[in-house]
Chain A
Amino acid sequence: MSGESASSGPGGESSEPSDSTREGAANPTGFRRTWRGLRAHPLAIAGLVVVSLVTLVGIVTYFDDAFLENALIKSIYYSPFDPKFAPLQGPSVAHPFGTDTLGRDVLARTIYGAKVSIQVALTAVLVAAALGSPLGVVAGYMGGYVETVVMRTVDVMLGFPALVLAIGLVAALGFNLTNVIIALGIVYVPQFARIARSTALSVSNEEYVDAAKALGYSRPHIVLREVLPNCISPLLVQASLLMAFAIIAEASLSFLGLGVQPPTPTWGQMVSDGSGYLTSAPWISLFPGSAIFVTVLGFNLLGDGLRDALDPRESADRRF
């Protein structure tokens, strides 16, 4: 019996062809089961569409910036000496979201802002998941001193309101894209560690883990091949919901002037720029603010849908 064949718990994969053939459509693979669960929730699908669109825009903008010198999305940076300089213009055909105080197209900058938001949120959540999940799994599986040290550290980290800790970290590291990612990544490590630990605690008592132990597999093997893969579902849900928080946190830092610095456009910074022109040019704040709202709503809807699909105990009846 191979190590893989011992993984027969939720989300686990079987290496025996006969098993997968026998299960067939009645017990589909993790991805298919998740997709089926998601399809049952129209709001989750709406969330998935929004998230996919924003991510696609972010990717296109990334390539435009990195390789095409902003050829696709022009007038992100606008010179006041340009003959076309037209500040504080309301929405029109030429500028559907209007222009800001420096005559820059708000639509172009809102599109560009998607790149920073998605880049920061995705990378920060990945960093947090990559650090927090193994820590939590090891703590949950090993117990004893390892668990005490890891969980007390997590308790200390959770002793800080998230944004306050993020502000402290960026104040120490400096205000730029990389440091915002590092700060938010560190802030969200405890969230993953806690969930990974509690899941690992229950997974450790499953029969397939006992089987792996009886077969003489090493602890690292059992943690990496048996326990960790079976903790993925709740971690995936947490990642989706934390993406929403990370987007708001990045926007909040930018709004306070403590995030990615100008002239790189970010949604939070654009809302802040327009706050002085609320009555004369509300579009400067309104459109990037709407972009944050719609994106965060998309991630929240997707996260809720994923939770319903991956965790049958949390049925949709009990929540919104």
Chain B
Amino acid sequence: MNYRYIAIRLLQTVPVLFGVSVVVFIIIHSAPGDPVVNMLGIDVTEENVAELREIHGLNEPLYVQYVNWMGGILQGDLGQSLTRERSVTALIAARLPATLFLAVVSMLIAIVIAIPAGIISAVYKGSGSDYAVTVGSLTGISIPNFWLGLILILLFARTYSFLPPGNYVAPSEDPVAALRHVALPAVTVGTAFAALLARQTRSSMLDNLNQEYVKMAKSKGLSSRKIFVRHALKQALLPVITVAGLQFGYLLSATVVVEQVFAWPGMGRLIWSAVQQQDYPTVQGTVLVVATLFVLINLVVDLTYSYLDPRVSVS
């Protein structure tokens, strides 16, 4: 285990997270209009506005507001929603499990489909299976996920009642129902992800099948199966893990849109409704949490990669 690499990667994450928080803060505070006036509506007195600005600390200079916001974040407080009678932290805590459940199931579906498809495509290069995976992959990358979701609803949810069009059920409450409800949204989110992974798996597998050590194994008389599984596959999956991790951000982006199609009560819908209602503290908090998740997942991917391949260095 390369502890120096781990320590440096952890240290590198800190300024990135700081930068992310600054960018989120600047973007949201550059929004035109007064969030307090937006919140109170037209029939409002100056006293009401002043009182609310005081409550939310909006009279302070911008850097003080940032320091206060960061101070709150370090204590787990992301501020107060302007339109709901709840804290942003509570809103996110209620929505995050649904998004993570959707993202994880989507990722699993994608991995289960994409890795075997990519391997078959590489091993039987130029065959009918290779062609089918090629076409499927290009289609998967090009199809807009919200449109695919609608088509799946039209094809399956209206015909087969065992595949409902969304509506989150917590896995802790009823695991079977949870899986039935997540099936269509997860396939929708996972399709493009599976397509990307299949391309990466095929490319990586082809690279490894042409390596010297594979030729050496062949010349030693090892069976094709052993060569694929013991040698080529193990090496080929390393870059696939990296791509899978790096593309988790794509999954989070995709859930924002797909949650809307399937009325999925996750972070995406929270961001969407907060933007519509100009609830800036909620937009700020949710975007920060999603970005932080993304950065941390990338960190975990890097560390996993360094564990699997000790040659990886900081440079």
Q: A164-B287, A172-B31 are in contact. Are A252 and B144 (CB under 8 A)?
A: yes
Closest 7 pairs between A and B when the two form their complex, measured CB to CB: A156-B19, A289-B147, A163-B253, A297-B142, A161-B249, A161-B253, A172-B31
Chain B, residue nearest A298 (CB)? B142
Q: B16, B125, B250, B287: which contacts A168 (Cβ < 8 A)? A: B287
Q: What separation, in Å, do the CA atoms of A248 and B142 have in the docked complex? A: 8
| B254 contact set on A, CB distance < 8 A | 163
Q: A171-B31, A293-B143, A300-B141 are in contact. Are A278 and B252 (CB under 8 A)?
A: no
State whether A256 touches B154 (Cβ < 8 A). no
Q: A279-B154, A282-B154, A319-B199 are in contact. Are A162 and B249 (CB under 8 A)?
A: yes
Identify 13 new A-B residue pairs, CB closer than 8 A, beyond the known A156-B19, A172-B27: A160-B290, A161-B294, A162-B253, A167-B271, A171-B280, A173-B30, A252-B144, A271-B144, A271-B147, A289-B144, A293-B143, A296-B141, A296-B143
State whether B142 touches A244 (Cβ < 8 A). yes
State whether A256 touches B287 (Cβ < 8 A). no
Q: Distance (Å) between the CB of B46 and the closest chain A CB?
A: 25
| B150 contact set on A, CB distance < 8 A | 271, 275, 278, 285, 289
State whether B153 touches A278 (Cβ < 8 A). yes
Tell me which residues from 290 to 314 in chain B have a Cβ below 8 Å from any Cβ of chain A: 290-291, 294-295
Chain B, residue nearest A271 (CB)? B147
Q: A163, A169, A292: which contacts B27 (Cβ < 8 A)? A: A169
Query: In the complex, how many residue pairs between chain A and chain B have their CB atoms under 8 Å apart?
Result: 149
State whether A296 touches B252 (Cβ < 8 A). no
Complex interface bits, B226-259 against A, C-beta within 8 A gives 1, otherwise 0: 0000000000000000000000011011101100
| A271 contact set on B, CB distance < 8 A | 144, 146-147, 150
- 20 cross-chain CB contacts under 8 A: A156-B22, A159-B16, A159-B294, A160-B249, A160-B287, A160-B294, A161-B291, A162-B250, A167-B287, A168-B287, A171-B278, A256-B256, A285-B147, A289-B151, A292-B144, A296-B142, A296-B144, A297-B139, A300-B138, A320-B133
State whether A156 touches B16 (Cβ < 8 A). yes
Report if A257 contacts B (CB, 8 A).
Answer: yes
Complex interface bits, B36-62 against A, C-beta within 8 A gives 1, otherwise 0: 000000000000000000000000000
Complex interface bits, A169-180 against B, C-beta within 8 A gives 1, otherwise 0: 101111000000
Q: What separation, in Å, do the CA atoms of A159 and B24 have in the docked complex? A: 11
| B172 contact set on A, CB distance < 8 A | none
Q: What separation, in Å, do the CA atoms of A172 and B121 have in the docked complex? A: 45
Q: What separation, in Å, do the CA atoms of A296 and B195 have in the docked complex? A: 14
Q: What separation, in Å, do the CA atoms of A203 and B290 have in the docked complex? A: 37
State whether B137 touches A320 (Cβ < 8 A). yes
Q: A156-B23, A160-B20, A172-B28 are in contact. Are A167 and B275 (CB under 8 A)?
A: yes
Q: Distance (Å) between the CB of A227 and the closest chain B CB?
A: 22
Q: What separation, in Å, do the CA atoms of A318 and B294 have in the docked complex? A: 29
State whether B250 touches A161 (Cβ < 8 A). yes
Chain B, residue nearest A296 (CB)? B142
| B250 contact set on A, CB distance < 8 A | 161-162
Q: What separation, in Å, do the CA atoms of A296 and B147 have in the docked complex? A: 13
Chain B, residue nearest A170 (CB)? B275
| B294 contact set on A, CB distance < 8 A | 159-161
State whether B139 touches A320 (Cβ < 8 A). no
Report if B34 contacts A (CB, 8 A).
Answer: no
State whether B252 touches A159 (Cβ < 8 A). no
| A248 contact set on B, CB distance < 8 A | 144
Report if A152 contacts B (CB, 8 A).
Answer: yes
Q: A162, A252, A297, A317: which contacts B206 (Cβ < 8 A)? A: A317
State whether A320 touches B291 (Cβ < 8 A). no
Chain A, residue nearest B280 (CB)? A171
State whether A174 touches B32 (Cβ < 8 A). yes
Q: Distance (Å) between the CB of A118 and the closest chain B CB?
A: 16
Report if A311 contacts B (CB, 8 A).
Answer: no
| A318 contact set on B, CB distance < 8 A | 203, 206-207
| B30 contact set on A, CB distance < 8 A | 172-173
State whether B19 touches A256 (Cβ < 8 A). no
Q: Distance (Å) between the CB of A284 and the closest chain B CB?
A: 10
Chain A, residue nearest B28 (CB)? A172
Q: Distance (Å) between the CB of B83 and the closest chain A CB?
A: 14
| B283 contact set on A, CB distance < 8 A | 168, 171
| A268 contact set on B, CB distance < 8 A | 144, 146
Complex interface bits, B110-127 against A, C-beta within 8 A gives 1, otherwise 0: 000000000001000100
State whether A161 touches B24 (Cβ < 8 A). no
State whether B20 touches A156 (Cβ < 8 A). yes
Q: What separation, in Å, do the CA atoms of A258 and B269 have in the docked complex? A: 13
Q: Which of A163, A272, A296 has the most CB of B within 10 A?
A: A163
State whether B146 touches A252 (Cβ < 8 A). yes
Q: Distance (Å) between the CB of A87 and the closest chain B CB?
A: 20
Report if B134 contacts A (CB, 8 A).
Answer: yes
Q: What separation, in Å, do the CA atoms of A279 and B157 have in the docked complex? A: 11
Report if B5 contacts A (CB, 8 A).
Answer: no
Q: What separation, in Å, do the CA atoms of A318 and B210 have in the docked complex? A: 11
Report if A255 contacts B (CB, 8 A).
Answer: yes
Report if A19 contacts B (CB, 8 A).
Answer: no
Q: What separation, in Å, do the CA atoms of A171 and B274 have in the docked complex? A: 9
Q: What separation, in Å, do the CA atoms of A277 and B223 have in the docked complex? A: 56
Report if A251 contacts B (CB, 8 A).
Answer: yes
Report if B128 contacts A (CB, 8 A).
Answer: no
State whether B260 touches A278 (Cβ < 8 A). no
Q: A171-B31, A318-B206 are in contact. Are A300 and B142 (CB under 8 A)?
A: yes
State whether A160 touches B154 (Cβ < 8 A). no
